[in-house]
Amino acid sequence: MTLSTGAALQGPVGVVGLGLIGGSIGLDLRARGVEVRGLVHRQATAERARQRGLAAWVDTDPAVLADCRLVVLALPLDRLLDPAGELLAALPVEAVITDVGSVKAPVLARWQALHPRFVASHPMAGTALAGVEAGMAGLFVDRPWVVTPGPTTDPAALRQVQALAGLLRARWLSCGAEEHDQAVALVSHLPVLVSAALLLAADRGAASAAAGGGEDLPGLVRALASRGFADTTRVGGGNPELGVLMARTNREALLAALAHYRRCLEALEREVQSGQWAGLDADLQRSRRLRPEFL
């Protein structure tokens, strides 16, 4: 039930970075009896990770990875794309290396040149939390674990990552790195900007009305915003560093997604402008029909 292939996970497993994703991987693997070795940046993080039991052995010295058969790089995209030399030197050449980055083409391009057994992957699970306190058991259950193998990806290494995803009970999905990046640009990175722009527009629209004599508007928009506004703005009110990182690393696909979005919104605006209510109704009927396909 947990594994769709016969491959068993070979340990010990190294986890580099014990934040939300790395810490959750550590907790689940330990609960399944796998030996986990954690590498973190700071002593204070190492201590807290030990207290939380995120790994059997936590250190700030990359030597902790020495005997690992699989190493998961659970690092932010910028550190993943520009890895420290001492980390690279410490990765065993026979080990399978994988990552958890939310953008895949630049990661695959960089890492397939850095390590012969690299597998690009993206476990799609998240909460609003980050840092050493964020890791939690069962984070990946029934969530997509996307891998984006390239032409040189080692099939045996890929099977090890599949064994990892299976142990964590994630849903295994394989696609091209470019396709992955186009898809997440549309359903994950575009929503951040669409949602942030809504917060900025509500504030700016109210401020503009206030300047024109409607001085109650800034207070009124804040008092009248209800659950619909809260939902639509949730991802736009999230972590700015993550937002900038995804825009930087997935820029081309995000710009393409923004262009599609602009055209769709402008079509709706034209219908309102010119009173084409049947056309607006048809578009809103279509968006209502589409939504369940994405849930």
Tokens of 193: 């900007």
224 binds its own copies (CB under 8 A): yes
Q: How many residues bind its own copies, per CB under 8 A?
A: 99
In the complex with its own copies, which residue's Cβ is closer, 10 or 232?
Answer: 232
175 is a contact residue toward its own copies (CB under 8 A) = yes
Q: Does 141 bind its own copies (CB under 8 A)?
A: no
Does residue 173 belong to the site contacting its own copies (CB under 8 A)?
yes
Contact flag: residue 150 with its own copies (CB under 8 A):
no
3-state secondary structure of 175: coil
Q: φ, ψ for residue 60 (rounded to 5)? A: -100, 0
- Which residue, 160 or 195, has its beta carbon nearer to its own copies? 195
Region of residue 120 (left: phi > 0; alpha: psi -120 to 50; beta: else): beta
Distance of CA 56 to CAs 26, 113, 216, 237, Å? Answer: 9, 31, 58, 36
**Which listed residue (65, 74, 157, 257) binds its own copies by CB under 8 A?**
257
Decide if 3 contacts 163 (C-beta within 8 A).
Answer: yes
Among 8, 203, 211, 249, binds its own copies (CB under 8 A): 203
- x/- track of binding to its own copies for residues 60-99 (CB under 8 A): ----------------------------------------
Nearest CB to its own copies, comparing residues 137 and 259:
259
- Chain-centroid distance of CA 123 in Å reads 7
**Residue from the set 84, 141, 187, 211 that interacts with its own copies by CB under 8 A:** 187
What amino acid occupies position 82? D
Determine, following the binding rule CB under 8 A, whether residue 234 of this chain makes contact with its own copies. Answer: yes
Rounded to whole angstroms, the Cα distance separating 293 from 295 reads 6
Find tokens 């939504």 and name the residue.
291
